[in-house]
Amino acid sequence: MRSVRRLPVKHLNILVVDDKKVIGDFFNLTMGYYGHQITVVHDLPHTIDAVKNHRFDIAFMDVMMPDRDGVEVLREVRLVKPGLPVVMMSGYSLDEKRKQASLLGATHCLKKPFEVDDIRRVIKEVIGEES
């Protein structure tokens, strides 16, 4: 029987923008387990600072933020890093916000709650890499 050789998995730099600590903890626990570097921020100023000062392969951003609408945060991110792949996350049915995010270049919108396989599937679809 032939052995199947797997290609090495690229370790990604992932930005997570969410005001809920549990979401950041979930990414750190699950995606960190696979060797990815996770940066979690909770508001617009820290998001813009992180995007300006670090190279990220992909960002996951909450649609509903307490200080700013997630679509507004996406708009600001687009000014700083227009090519950064962004996946929006929401626990609400916000078709208009999803449409606006899509127009600004968000590639997907994950519905909360989601599982690690959902994140890994989206990463593979967006970046083309196994995670």
Looking at residue 30, which CATH number applies to its domain? 3.40.50.2300
Domain membership of residue 56 (yes or no) is: yes
Domain membership of residue 1 (yes or no) is: no
Domain membership of residue 109 (yes or no) is: yes
| Cα(11)–Cα(71) distance, integer angstroms | 27
Domain membership of residue 2 (yes or no) is: no
The pLDDT of residue 96: 66
Query: What pTM was estimated for this model as a whole?
Result: 0.85
**Order of strands across the sheet that contains 108-111:** 37-41, 13-17, 58-62, 86-90, 108-111
Range of the domain at 111: 13-124
| Cα(130)–Cα(40) distance, integer angstroms | 21
At residue 1, what is the residue type?
A: M
Domain membership of residue 106 (yes or no) is: yes
| pLDDT < 70 regions, the chain | 1-9, 93-94, 96-98, 131
The answer for 40, left when phi > 0, alpha when psi is -120 to 50, beta otherwise, is beta
Residue showing tokens 């921020």: 41
Counting the structural domains of the chain, the total is 1
Q: Which two tokens stand for residue 25?
A: 């903890």
In eight-state DSSP terms, residue 4 is P
Domain membership of residue 104 (yes or no) is: yes
Domain membership of residue 117 (yes or no) is: yes
Q: Which two tokens stand for residue 126?
A: 């967006």
Domain membership of residue 129 (yes or no) is: no
β-pair partners for 86: 59
The pLDDT of residue 103: 72
Each residue of 37-69: pLDDT tens digit? 999 999 889 999 999 999 999 999 998 887 778
